[in-house]
Amino acid sequence: MSETLAWFKSSYSDSQGGECLEVAYTWCKSSYSDSQGGACLEVAACPHTIHIRDSKLGVRSPRFTVPANAWTAFVTYASREA
């Protein structure tokens, strides 16, 4: 998996430059992705959640979040079925 950082400003920041935290997710691209834009996923693991997005859209991709235990169950199931 390859990794990239994606920084974003806290939703508590305001348009007047309010002092808030910027956070970075480490997005990991699937080893099945290719340099020609193969259709795979990127994931960013946080302590209690996993963020998932489409690798070919990168930062423009909509993303969804699942609890870490749900992601673990999914990966375990998918690994057995492969």
pLDDT recorded at residue 25: 77
Check if the beta carbon of residue 41 is closer than 8 Å to that of residue 63: no
**Domains of the chain: which residue ranges?**
2-81
Closest CA to 23 of 51, 53, 58, 61: 51
The mean of the pLDDT values for the chain is 76
pTM, 2 dp: 0.62
Mean pLDDT confidence for 36-52: 80
pLDDT tens readout for residues 2-32: 455 555 566 666 666 666 666 677 888 877 6
